[in-house]
Amino acid sequence: MPADIAVRFGRTVIAVPPVAWTDRLDLAVDENIKLLRYIEAGGIGAVLYGGNANLYHYDSGRFAALVDLVGRVAAPGTDIIASIGPDFGKLLDQARVVRDRRFAGVMALPMTFPTHAAGLETALRAACEALGGPLILYIKRENYLAPDRVQALFADGVVAFVKYAVERPDPRDDRYLSDLCAAIGAGNIASGMGETPIHAHLPDYGLRTYTSGGVCIAPRAAMALLAAHRAGDRAAAARLAAPFLDFEGVRAAINGFSVMHDAVTLAGIARMGPILPMAGNVAAADLPRVQAAVDGLVALDETCH
């Protein structure tokens, strides 16, 4: 992982795509390349294979196939970020799989039950050792690790960047995030929940950049949205964010994994096929609602060419 990881990631919105499968649940190589090329052509410089890729449920063969593919076909200027975990066994096994591949970063997926803060830290340190380099820490729940322990992991070279995704009714009121910014610096943190909180995370907290699923549909518009926030143009940011927020609302109402997966097919970018179990595709009755949200993103992106 390069020493300037925060600077490199800060140059772009970080796309978080789904992964395409054949009807027999084999990796759909050509369709995944289509999606990656579309994202790259839209000006996105970093692609994170994590939650939207449903990596929680990969067996060892599918995991190796995916990291082999994306590591091989990404454009030279694209930073590919792989994800490992979330359980201790997968952290270690998958760290050994990716350690010799030239990824820009490797993210530890967030573990929920059963965990203990001290045990999480021990696991991250062991994964770092197996990987031979620092991790990106994905924080998705309140006090996942105390800010002083995250600071210690930074100081020891175990963690190099944070993806922050703790949901709040009002993202402007987030003591945990404030404390993390004070502990490790806002420039070492990306907002990790799509467009919903970035009106606060970017201008108010000063987070470096943000991760997004919608960027896979509207990459140029996402880069314009990031630029608007950095220019302090809140009116332009609000206008650009509206279709992304509509899309995120549909994801929240139906199922985040399912909608993101099928949205790529509905946009005509690539045929994503069935979603890998244990998730599932969007029900037929919900497809018109997803299509409407996708159409809004496609229309917005066309205005940003």
CATH code assigned at 173: 3.20.20.70
Q: Pick the closest to residue 263 from 226, 212, 197, 304 (CA basis).
A: 212
Start-to-end CA span in the chain (Å): 32
Give the whole-angstrom CA distance, residue 84 versus residue 211: 17
Predicted confidence at residue 305, as pLDDT, reads: 82
Q: CA of 109: how far to CAs of 55, 83, 165, 196, in Å?
A: 9, 6, 12, 21
- Position 219 pLDDT exceeds 90: yes
Mean pLDDT in residue range 123-132: 98
pTM assigned to the model: 0.97
Q: What is the pLDDT of residues 3-13, one digit of tens each?
A: 488 899 999 99
In 142-272, where does DSSP find H-type helix?
147-155, 175-184, 198-201, 219-230, 234-253, 256-266
Tokens 């907290």 identify what position? 205
Mean pLDDT in residue range 282-304: 98
Predicted confidence at residue 2, as pLDDT, reads: 46
Average pLDDT score, the chain: 96
pLDDT-based confidence at residue 1 (cuts at 50, 70, 90):
very low
pLDDT-based confidence at residue 212 (cuts at 50, 70, 90):
very high
- Are residues 140 and 111 in contact, defined by beta-carbon separation less than 8 angstroms? no
Predicted confidence at residue 5, as pLDDT, reads: 87
Residue 135: beta bridge partners? 159
Per cent of the chain over pLDDT 90 is: 95
- Position 112 pLDDT exceeds 90: no
Predicted confidence at residue 78, as pLDDT, reads: 97
pLDDT-based confidence at residue 231 (cuts at 50, 70, 90):
very high
Name the domain count of the chain: 1
Domain, as residue range, for 134: 5-302
- Are residues 33 and 40 in contact, defined by beta-carbon separation less than 8 angstroms? no
Q: What is the pLDDT of residues 179-188, one digit of tens each?
A: 999 999 999 9
**SS in 3 state form for 118-167?**
HHHHHHHHHHHHHHCCCEEEEECCCCCCCHHHHHHHHHCCCEEEEEECCC
Q: What is the pLDDT of residues 25-71, one digit of tens each?
A: 999 999 999 999 999 999 999 999 999 999 999 999 999 999 999 99
| 51 Cβ contact partners less than 8 Å away, ≥ 6 residues apart | 16, 83, 109, 257
Residue 161: beta bridge partners? 136
Q: What is the pLDDT of residues 270-284, one digit of tens each?
A: 999 999 999 999 999
Predicted confidence at residue 159, as pLDDT, reads: 98
Residue type, 16: V
